[in-house]
Structure 1
Amino acid sequence: MSAMEPPALWPLVERVGARYAAAPAWSRGFVRGKLLSDPVTPALLRLAAGWGGLGRLVDLGCGRGQTGLALLLAGLAEEVTGLDLDPAKIRDATEAARDLPARFAVADLSVAEVPEADTAMMLDVLLQMEEATQLPLLRRIAGAARRRVLVRAFDPAAGWRAALGSAMEEAGRRIRRDGSHFRPMPLEALAAPFQEAGFRVQVAPCWGWTPLPNVLLVAERADS
């Protein structure tokens, strides 16, 4: 597919946000705020537009589904499948996706089968999983993605950003008490399963205005 122009962010966020009218007020605010403030949103829109779209997209750890729906409403994805462990978030996503080519389901990514798709996307999920489950999940993703994989990850070697981000993550875990883990994988280990499966891998900063050590890994099949 040929390159496209990325959409203007504000009008797109309003379109996405309007679909969450039936969600709790906090969820509605989160969806809009996350899309507007997270540096990954414009980064994904630019990349997807440059590729001419992401085709069939699977969003792993989709939360309320706002990122996948933004790509869908922007014409940058043909259909979306989202998986997340939280049933309440999946309910919000399912209601918001009414009449769109999107489906959302509750799934434990540590054991779930990854649906085949043109593009697999996983944002800010891996570091919260048990260490022993991370590499097997990455290998399942590499086997399911036909064209490319997008992973937003935490770089534990990013100096002061990593130190600050680690402190924030640990504080958040203590406050939430949700049983989440904090096991950020070194970027070389994160890239290895995709390189072994024949993907070309690039990693670039994706922290924008924030002090966090977030990066975006882009893995593309050599024949795509």
Structure 2
Amino acid sequence: MPDGTDLQTLIPAVAARYAGASRFTREFVPSKLRRDPATAAILGLARRAGGFGHVVDLGCGRGQFGIALLLSGDASRVTGLDLDGRKIADARAAAAGLPADFARADLTRAEVPEGDTVLMADVLYQLPDGAQLRVLEGMARAARRRVVMRLFDPDRGWRSAFGMAMERAGRAIRRDGAAVRPMPVPEVTALFGRAGFRCAVEPCWAGTPLPNVLLTAERG
């Protein structure tokens, strides 16, 4: 895992690339990187793996995590896809001069680009049931070396109940009408196992009451 000094240097460097974005984005990017347990967990995994190579980031949002991997030297190139065109515009502006390509895409329909590491964080459970399986199969085909996912685990007892309540409340406030259907983690690992990957799952909820876990699937 990167130590505190690494992150204290890296996060401001990433945030500086969003200087021309909206005030919300300028505040969101460093806060998300600093507070989300996935930042240290995935950067640490990349460091231990000797780098992620070409990273395909599905549901990349504003691109801050892919840019962090590039600036830390843990990715050689980043391809990011997200449905939100405004977030993609922020990502493109922030990545100016870096080996990165961010594009608007509907993950339920788009083909997954090929890369060394295919990354998805907090996105799978937001997709419709049928699309979840299709996207996972696309990830398995596209990943030359590994798949890394932060998943909502529906089988973590009180954590899962709390997480579901938060998700439903958020959707009610936003009135987006989206269902919350987290796929059981054993089903996800079984799919990658059948595709020839070795899977490991570990908690990724440090300091939060959420049921998030980190899945790493290494191609055998």
Query: Shared topology, TM-score over 0.5?
Result: yes
Mapped to 1, the partners of 2:63 and 2:178 lie a distance apart of 20
> Which shows bigger deviation, 67-76 or 186-195?
186-195
- Name the residue aligned to 1:45: 43
TM-score normalised to structure 2 length: 0.97
What are the residue-to-residue correspondences of 1:44-123 with 2, within 5 Å?
44-123=42-121
Mapped to 2, the partners of 1:179 and 1:168 lie a distance apart of 14
Gaps of 5+ in 1: none
RMSD: 1.2
Contact kept, 8 Å, 2:201 with 2:214, in 1: the verdict is: yes
Q: 1:33 aligns with which of 31, 44, 51?
A: 31
Mapped to 2, the partners of 1:58 and 1:204 lie a distance apart of 22
Contact kept, 8 Å, 1:64 with 1:90, in 2: the verdict is: yes
- Name the residue aligned to 1:144: 142
Mapped to 2, the partners of 1:69 and 1:178 lie a distance apart of 29
Residue-by-residue CA offset, 1:168-211 (whole Å, 9 max, x unaligned): 00001111123433110001111122111100001100001000
Mapped to 2, the partners of 1:39 and 1:100 lie a distance apart of 25
Residue-by-residue CA offset, 1:72-95 (whole Å, 9 max, x unaligned): 100000000000000000000000
- Name the residue aligned to 1:177: 175
Mapped to 1, the partners of 2:27 and 2:190 lie a distance apart of 37
Q: 1:153 aligns with which of 136, 151, 162?
A: 151
Gaps of 5+ in 2: none
Mapped to 1, the partners of 2:86 and 2:177 lie a distance apart of 17
Mapped to 1, the partners of 2:137 and 2:52 lie a distance apart of 20
Name the SS of the counterpart of 1:8 in structure 2: helix
Contact kept, 8 Å, 2:2 with 2:43, in 1: the verdict is: no
Q: 1:210 aligns with which of 191, 208, 216?
A: 208
When residues 83 and 206 of structure 1 are mapped into structure 2, their CA distance, relative to the original with a 3 A threshold, is same
TM-score normalised to structure 1 length: 0.95
> Which shows bigger deviation, 33-42 or 178-187?
178-187
Name the SS of the counterpart of 2:148 in structure 1: strand
Residue-by-residue CA offset, 1:31-82 (whole Å, 9 max, x unaligned): 0100000000000111100011000000000000000100110000000000
Mapped to 1, the partners of 2:175 and 2:9 lie a distance apart of 36
Contact kept, 8 Å, 1:5 with 1:50, in 2: the verdict is: no
Q: Which amino acid aligns with 2:218?
A: E
Residue-by-residue CA offset, 1:108-138 (whole Å, 9 max, x unaligned): 0011110000000000001111111101110
Mapped to 2, the partners of 1:93 and 1:129 lie a distance apart of 22
Count of aligned positions: 219
- Name the residue aligned to 1:188: 186
Contact kept, 8 Å, 2:63 with 2:80, in 1: the verdict is: yes
